Amino acid sequence: MLLVFCQKITPRIQYTFTHVFTTALGIEIDFTSKLETFIAYTGPKMSYGKAPLGNEFFVEAVPLLFELGVQDVAVDIKQWKTYPTFFEVRKKESAFPFDLFAATFYLISRYEEYLPHVKDQLDRFEAKQSLCVRNGFAEVPIVDFWLAELLSLLKDTFPDLLIVESSGESFKPLIEVVSPYKYLHQSVFSNLATFGKALYQLNFWELFEQPMVLLGFRKDPWDTFQEYKTLFYKAKFNSYFFFLFSKGSNMDRGISIRNNSFQSLIKGVADYFEVGLLASFPANKKGNQFEKERKDLNVLIHRKIQKIRYAWGISTVNESYRNLIMQEVQADFSLSFPNIMGYRASTAVPFYYYDLANEMTTTLKIFPVVSNEDSLRQYSPVEGIKKLISMGDKLPLATGVHSFALSNKFLENSEVNKGYRSVIIDYLKAHDR
């Protein structure tokens, strides 16, 4: 066990050090603010504060983890080794030239999203506002690289320090389903609109495909669930399916939750894979709407839904996540940038959400997601998959999880989509091997 000395043990310190050591590095820790206890301890130990107590392992602290509330904190990016860092410290005895604990807290708590910022048209935090995007390290889980350096230094300093190796999952594809069908079970108006658009655009393939599907001569192109089942059923990784199960809104136009075929499809998927709720746009801010959608899906599959992904991403961090906490949700898979690939919290390691408004660690576990379908499709199939593979290969910690979101439409077997379909199938098969 590693004993950590701080003159004042705040909720932020408990949260950050527990995440760093226990969750990310697999090291058991304990805290003390009693000098005599620290001196008497003969095992591995470190201090965190303004100055070292002696010649122990020491990291100099900036004020952030001792403060309350959200303030406009100065962040000045420096370079250390090959890594961007901030919260520079001056004590030569410090193991690092920056306060990596405060910097870690700043990034994974999403501190910057509590500060005044410009939002997009859907009231979401814009990627270009983020520290990691502005400074060019969005595609790298920089927190995890810092912690890998910390782990290496601790191993050198304390050769007998017990480290529990991770046995968790490192690869986690997510399938989000807004509408399982392109033509089937859609309203007459919707199908007429689709046909009219194809006619206007002279999309001859769609003009042929739509009536063939509706007449039963072809399979609906978005009904790719059997293919996903084939890819995932005996795979060496787990995959989660998130279904939109809402009466719909101007932003969410799926299949009616009363549709028998849709219900049978969800039940069939739930027989083989874990199913989560793809919460609608209104459910992001309306707790009663979220509760209704979750309850309806619970009733359908006869189990309590504990994994959530917001269909349009989280809007306001504290509002969206407080909604989930009040509903006793255990895991969220929404933390990504809405329009670019990257690590929004600069980490691939799942972490518990820290409520800055109430200064407390919550029970909601956040699983970072590096990309969604929209961000992946901004690139050519080859470029997109190369970037996705590269980000998955850059995980320096065994506790990191490479999680990305696709949809049922991503395997659509059409001329315009065949490139994306091909590269993602090859990627999933290769990873399974």
Q: Write out pLDDT tens, residues 372-422.
A: 999 999 999 999 999 999 999 889 999 999 999 999 999 998 888 999 999
Contact (CB, 8 A) for 253 and 180: no
Decide which of 107 and 123 is more confident.
107
Domain ranges of the chain: 2-157, 171-181+222-432, 186-218
Could you report the per-residue pLDDT of 315-354, keeping only the tens digit for each? 778 888 988 999 999 999 999 998 899 999 999 999 999 9
| DSSP one-letter string for 333-388 | ---S-SSS-S-TTS-SS-EEEEETTTTEEEEEEE------HHHHTTS-HHHHHHHH
Report the chain's mean pLDDT, rounded to a whole number: 91
Name the pairing type of β-strands 78-80 and 83-85.
antiparallel
Core vs surface per residue 252-271: b (16+ CB within 10 A) or e: bebbebebeebbebbeebbe
Residue type, 377: R
Q: What is the DSSP letter of 164?
A: P
| Residue 218 burial (CB count, 10 A) | 14
**Cα 281 → chain centroid:** 18
pLDDT for res 130: 94
| DSSP one-letter string for 52-66 | -SSSSEEEE--GGGG
Could you report the per-residue pLDDT of 195-232, keeping only the tens digit for each? 677 677 777 667 767 777 788 888 899 999 999 999 99
Question: What is the Cα–Cα distance from 141 to 210, expressed in whole angstroms?
Answer: 44
pLDDT for res 287: 78
Could you report the per-residue pLDDT of 166-188, keeping only the tens digit for each? 777 789 999 999 999 988 877 66
Is residue 433 scored above 60 in pLDDT?
Answer: no
pLDDT for res 204: 65
Could you report the per-residue pLDDT of 59-108, keeping only the tens digit for each? 999 999 999 999 999 999 999 999 999 999 999 999 999 999 999 999 99
Please give the average per-residue pLDDT across 265-274, as a whole number.
Answer: 95
Q: Is 227 exposed, middle or buried (0-12, 13-18, 19+ CB in 10 A)?
A: middle
Which backbone phi and psi does 144 adopt, to 5 degrees? -65, -35
pLDDT for res 248: 66
pLDDT for res 272: 93
**Cα 86 → chain centroid:** 23
Tokens 């890998």 correspond to 148
Please tell me the class of the 171-181+222-432 domain.
alpha beta
Residues 6+ apart with CB under 8 A from 243: 177, 266, 269, 275, 276, 277, 278, 297
Residue 382 vs residues 24, 44, 61, 421: alpha-carbon distances, Å: 32, 48, 44, 11
Contact (CB, 8 A) for 357 and 154: no
Q: What's this model's pTM, rounded to 2 decimal places?
A: 0.93
Is residue 132 scored above 90 in pLDDT?
Answer: yes
Most distant pair of Cα atoms in the chain: their distance: 81
Question: What is the Cα–Cα distance from 113 to 360, expressed in whole angstroms?
Answer: 17
Is residue 189 scored above 70 in pLDDT?
Answer: no
